[in-house]
Amino acid sequence: MAAVEPLARPTWRGELSLSFAATERGTVVARRRHEGPFCIQRPFYPGDGACHVYLLHPPGGLAAGDELALDVDAGPGSAALLTTPAATKFYRSDGNPSVQRQTLRVRAGAALEWLPLDTILFGGSRARIDTDVELEPGAHFIGWEQLSLGRPLSGDRYATGTLEQHTRIAVAGEPQLIESLRFAARDRLLEAECGLASFGVCGALYAYPAHDPLLVRVRTRLGTATPSPDLPPERAVLRCGATLLGNLLVVRCLAATPEPLRTLFEELWQELRPEVVGRASHAPRVWRT
């Protein structure tokens, strides 16, 4: 009897393309197109002058060979805030890598806030994450990326796995930041002081346009960051720094667990939003549900 070949697991490709436009009624979703399990529902208007959109991925994560692609175009004068209702998860892969790509374009006079919840790399995952942000002169942008290695509370210490991450932010076609991060579980980079220094969570926050006084304020805020009282001291540690690359503010942080980093980034966003985007802070309701 011939051997029975195992059934190949079908891979998922989710693709979502959004365009935002300024109208007399405010910013609207002018165009949306989706393929596969990646979509949005109706936008929300909480009264801060921006169009809030929640990115929905019903499978909840990416397995071997899955791909998730986001393309956003914020038209001139529009104002949009994008977030997610849950963390993005990269599951264990014994085959092809799981890929997440996001391309964000912000036109002159537009404001885009890209604020997804954290990304969790399960032990054994093979993840690739590409982010490309293109800003026109006069554009406004705040965004962040947060990575968690494994799930320590569930016994997943990220003993195996790989990550390849690329981030590019350009203004008028001129790159302000080009960054690549590659590692495998147990690489020396994860323990080295010039790397992740044995922290299990890392993140970066970006804001444009920014200036020296704003950098000073952010550094002061980082210096006074208080650990969460709900966490033991060893889990509440944060190591952070901020710099200006031209007019691009970059804040980098390492943490032992996701909660302190997420809380700090939300507080920084509240501090930066009036200055960078010109709107009062109004946190998406999904962050508290």
Q: What is the pLDDT of residues 118-140, one digit of tens each?
A: 999 999 999 999 999 999 999 99
Q: Which pLDDT score, from 0 to 100, does residue 9 have? A: 57
Residue 199 above 60 pLDDT? yes
Q: pLDDT grade, residue 262 (50/70/90)?
A: very high
Q: pLDDT grade, residue 6 (50/70/90)?
A: very low
Q: Which pLDDT score, from 0 to 100, does residue 127 have? A: 98
If one counts every other C-beta atom within 10 angstroms of the C-beta of residue 261, the result is 25
Q: Which pLDDT score, from 0 to 100, does residue 157 have? A: 93
Q: Which pLDDT score, from 0 to 100, does residue 4 have? A: 44
- Considering only 32-36, 93-97, 185-189, which range has the smallest mean pLDDT? 93-97
pLDDT above 70 coverage of the chain, percent: 92
State how far the Cα of 199 lies from the Cα of 207, in Å rounded to an integer: 24
Q: pLDDT (tens digit, 9 = 90+) per residue, 98-108?
A: 999 999 999 99
Q: Which pLDDT score, from 0 to 100, does residue 235 have? A: 53
Across 14-36, average pLDDT: 96
CA dist 249 to 150, 212, 255, 258, 282, Å? 29, 9, 20, 22, 21
DSSP-assigned beta bridge partners for residue 83: 54, 115
- The conformation of residue 170, written as its DSSP 8-state character, comes to E
Mean pLDDT of the chain: 92
Q: Which pLDDT score, from 0 to 100, does residue 147 have? A: 97
Q: What are the residue ranges spanned by the domains of the chain?
A: 37-277
Query: What are phi and psi for residue 266, nearest 5 degrees?
Result: -65, -40
Residue 189 above 90 pLDDT? yes
Across 194-219, average pLDDT: 96
If one counts every other C-beta atom within 10 angstroms of the C-beta of residue 59, the result is 15
Residue 228 above 60 pLDDT? no
Long-range CB pairs of 215-218, under 8 A, 24+ apart, other chains included: 215/242, 215/243, 215/244, 215/249, 217/271, 218/242, 218/249, 218/251, 218/268, 218/271, 218/272
Q: pLDDT (tens digit, 9 = 90+) per residue, 151-179?
A: 998 999 999 999 999 999 999 999 999 99
Q: Which pLDDT score, from 0 to 100, does residue 231 have? A: 57
Q: Which pLDDT score, from 0 to 100, does residue 289 have? A: 76
Residue 72 above 90 pLDDT? yes
Q: What is the pTM of this model?
A: 0.93
If one counts every other C-beta atom within 10 angstroms of the C-beta of residue 245, the result is 14
Angle at 106 between CA 103 and CA 111, to 5 degrees: 125
CA 265 to chain CA mean position, Å: 11
Q: Which pLDDT score, from 0 to 100, does residue 119 have? A: 97
Q: Which pLDDT score, from 0 to 100, does residue 35 have? A: 93
Q: pLDDT grade, residue 259 (50/70/90)?
A: very high
State how far the Cα of 20 lies from the Cα of 22, in Å rounded to an integer: 7
Residue 247 above 50 pLDDT? yes
State how far the Cα of 84 lies from the Cα of 256, in Å rounded to an integer: 22
Half-sphere CA count of 232, side-chain side, radius 13 A: 2
Q: Which pLDDT score, from 0 to 100, does residue 85 have? A: 94
